[in-house]
Amino acid sequence: MAISTADFKNGLTIEVDGAIWRIVEFQHVKPGKGGAFVRSKLKNLRTGAVQEKTFRAGAKMEQAPINTRKMQYLYEDGDSRVFMDTDNYEQIEVPDEAIKDQLQFLQENMEVNVIQYGSETLGIEVPNTVVLTVTATEPGIKGNTASGGSKPATMDTGLVVQVPFFVNEGDKLSINTQDGSYISRA
């Protein structure tokens, strides 16, 4: 389906130069001299690279038909992960390279959205927050306040997060998957 720059919105997927891009952000610019254009920041769904592109106002391009399927993460198989469709029990393997940014949040039996273009799997979307268990951190010392300072804590998936001093080993914490930051105790 052909779309123009007037149809741009964040999250829309387009095909440009044989690659599949997701629009991260865009801005319509109308300079005093010359024609209007659209400045955009695009993320390549195959490589994960982020690139800035400029399009003429009204330029036409193809919308990429992206399919998202709710699937359950089952297990690690060498250098890939196995996911199962919860509706028809079909299993697919996704290479670690395609989901390297989400691996640190992935837990067995977690429900994720698998992003596909035709039969090609491009990646996964994890929930905005996940609950992880602290496996290693320095013990909190009496006198440290809850409001001041932080310490590193290693979670059960290998993710290292800066947490307040009152967090101990074995605590379950809510973690933001967008930036890997501590939200609260779970």
For residue 148, the model assigns a pLDDT of 67
The residue extents of the domains of the chain are 2-63, 66-125, 129-185
Q: Do 170 and 184 touch, CB atoms closer than 8 A? A: no
Is this prediction's pTM over 0.85? no
Q: Which two tokens stand for residue 101?
A: 């940014």
Amino acid at 60: K
Per CATH, the homologous superfamily of domain 129-185 is Nucleic acid-binding proteins (2.40.50.140)
At 59-92, the pLDDT tens digits run 999 998 889 889 999 998 889 999 999 889 999 9
For residue 145, the model assigns a pLDDT of 59
pLDDT band, residue 111 (cuts 50/70/90): very high
Intrachain domains 66-125 and 129-185 with the same fold: yes
Q: Which two tokens stand for residue 42?
A: 């695009």
Q: Do 172 and 129 touch, CB atoms closer than 8 A? A: no
CATH topology of domain 66-125: OB fold (Dihydrolipoamide Acetyltransferase, E2P) (2.40.50)
Quickly tell me which residue has 């990429």 as its tokens. 64
Q: Do 71 and 85 touch, CB atoms closer than 8 A? A: yes
**Alpha carbon distance 40, 134 (integer Å):** 39
At 130-150, the pLDDT tens digits run 999 999 988 866 665 555 678
Q: Do 158 and 147 touch, CB atoms closer than 8 A? A: no
| CATH code for the domain defined by 2-63 | 2.30.30.30
Q: Which two tokens stand for residue 151?
A: 């310490």
Local structure of 103: helix, strand or coil: helix
Q: Do 159 and 140 touch, CB atoms closer than 8 A? A: no
DSSP codes, 18-57? TEEEEEEEEEEE--SSS--EEEEEEEETTT--EEEEEEET
